[in-house]
Copies of this chain bind each other. A is one copy, B any other.
């Protein structure tokens, strides 16, 4: 059940007819935001309608498209403006700057919707034969440029392969708790089908409603409850990938010493080796209980220490989400429509989610509360936890109305060791704030920077930064680039990975050598060259 593209925003987040995120509080919130950012009023900056925009002509001539229609049935080869616009970019802040202005230079020359692995293989063969680049596309929610259809010099054009019609669960092994699934399935459909049989993958990224299984594997995505269910590279058992060299089916053993495992190369390959057609994934029985509750800490450091102790002593949470002072303050102010937002930020909220059998959940709650109490955390009950859980997929809807009002909002994330969490948090916060100030549209204007920990391990955790700011309307892309560069330079120089779960795409490529070293990069390039010698698979990403 592919989602109806026409009902989705081609240049923003989610459903066209989604209700206004802020509702009654909107005017109060906008006033508060303007005040906080030191700007007098928020300008009106609406997006262009598609009807006002002219797309670049398709680079594929009629004969070529006709040949493509012999490979994939004619009604699944799309060249109309809506399909091309929809697939022109992912959904990062940076993408939206282009989409909203009608800069659709990256629109694919055609979009195809294969129905089977065999068709995907034939599309890849076609592209090799015709020297056309291919970009795999699932939900298209990449925020790092991972689905932008690019092509190399000399290539005839670029086709986007939209996988969302390959959405079937092919097999469930109820004994081993693994399922074999086509990769084009959207999150909600996957969970609905699994849960109807009593199972769950448990992978709920922020983009859950509008992203696909393949889109989770390709950039090593993480769901909110990754503490329990793992990141994509942890729950991926094996994969099948259509490559220019043919079908690559990896091993899929619970453990193996037969050399490096294919799944570890396919997870994170971001479409540059081939198109993932099927995956075997680890599933769980639907948990009896889901318990989400909140705690308050008077400092981020105390919350970090409590989180670390829970992870290192095996307290079996599904999620620990620790907001810093600034983020706690921001969401509280948002909730109150800016009321009380003049008092200082004095608390950090921690959400703890536990999922499983009743008795185990109780045991974990008891253990977690003991650790949290020892570090000065105050129990706030289930109310805020349940509220977060219910609204957890709504936050991205705030971005479009912000973009309409001259505001920018972006996120970036990293992961580092526990010993480096607070120092890196502070450095990156400062780097973003400084860069926002330096690149502000007017003197005195400033941005809001906030962060949370959301994916935890024994040795460290992720740090997720959100920053909102008044756009420099005359140089929006330059402003974004400056901030992105400032933050990523600091992350890369101070022990953080350039991405914990967004991936590399186009946006993080400049920092890859520093992260992986020359030999590490060369190893990836060697694999790429061997599997895709002509370089047709998602050029410009990852490497």
Contact = CB atoms under 8 A, between A and B. Distances in A.
Given A262-B523, A526-B527, A253 B497 contact: yes
B258 A416 contact: no
B176 A255 contact: no
B256 A500 contact: yes
Interface stretch (A70-78, A114-122, A123-131, A264-272): A264-272
Given A314-B356, A419-B176, A520-B251, A258 B504 contact: yes
A255 B457 contact: yes
B501 A417 contact: no
Contacts of A243: 519
A221 to B, nearest CB: 7
Given A260-B264, A455-B255, A246 B499 contact: no
B177 A255 contact: no
Contact of A259 (B268, B356, B518, B529): B268
Contacts of A222: 255, 257
A254 B421 CA distance: 11
Contacts of A531: 519, 522-523, 526
A360 interface: yes
A245 B519 contact: yes
Contacts of A497: 251, 253, 255-258
A455 B260 CA distance: 19
Interface string A307-349: 0100011101000000000000000000000000000000000
B254 A457 contact: yes
Interface stretch (A18-26, A162-170, A387-395, A459-467): A459-467
Contacts of A420: 176
A523 B516 contact: no
Given A257-B220, A415-B254, A530-B522, A459 B177 contact: yes
A246 B521 CA distance: 13
A497 to B, nearest CB: 4
A357 interface: yes
A487 to B, nearest CB: 15
A504 B257 contact: yes
A259 B248 CA distance: 18
Interface of A: 173, 175-178, 219-222, 231, 237, 243, 245-251, 253-262, 264-265, 267-270, 282, 285, 308, 312-314, 316, 356-357, 360, 363, 415-420, 455, 457-462, 496-504, 508, 512, 515-520, 522-527, 529-531, 542
Given A313-B357, A526-B531, 18 more contacts: A175-B417, A175-B419, A178-B459, A219-B257, A248-B520, A253-B496, A254-B458, A255-B457, A255-B462, A255-B497, A255-B501, A257-B501, A258-B268, A258-B498, A262-B520, A264-B265, A314-B316, A519-B531
